[in-house]
Amino acid sequence: MALNNYIKSGDFKGEKHVPVIEAPAQVAAGEKVKIEVSVGKDIAHPNTTEHHIAWIKLYFIPEGTQLPYEVAAVEFNVHGESPAGANEGPVYSEAEAVVVTSFKQSGKLIAASYCNIHGLWESEEKAIVVA
């Protein structure tokens, strides 16, 4: 079976697993752009040893192609683990990241995230226009 049979999607306002992309709709060619990716923007996702977001990946697909470029892959590695027990640790990663990039042409951004219990999730496409 194809991988896309296992990737879930939805509206982040009603589904806590869907990654959110926050980026300008238009940028100048070569301009540095901050893109924020996160999970749990409107509905908080648990961040525990037992249930957490392990990573988010951001992809760019140039206009007129179907070739995705992996822009960034961010891992979230601590979720309260400790020798004292689950959720007793001193630090927790949050499923948010800022990526700085630049574009030479227009295209679309897509994000994917992985929940250790509920699997793979993807965002809707977000168009970015290079003017």
Phi, psi of 5 (to 5 degrees): -70, -15
Q: Looking at 8, 13, 34, 51, which residue is catalytic?
A: 51
As given in the structure block, the two tokens for residue 60 are: 């760019």
* 15: annotated active-site residue: yes
Active site residue: 108, 118, 124, 125, which one? 118
**Residue 17 is a catalytic residue:** yes
Q: Which of 48, 49, 54 is nearest to 19 (CA)?
A: 54
45 is catalytic: yes
Give catalytic status of residue 16 as yes or no: yes
Q: Is 52 a catalytic residue?
A: no
Whether the Cβ atoms of residue 24 and residue 128 lie closer than 8 Å to each other = yes
The tokens describing 120, both together, are 């793979």
| Identified catalytic residue from 41, 45, 57, 79 | 45
Q: How many helices (H) and strands (E) does the chain have?
A: 0, 9
Residue bearing tokens 């893109």: 35
In angstroms, the CA 34 to CA 2 distance is: 32
Residues labelled catalytic: 15-17, 45, 51, 115, 118
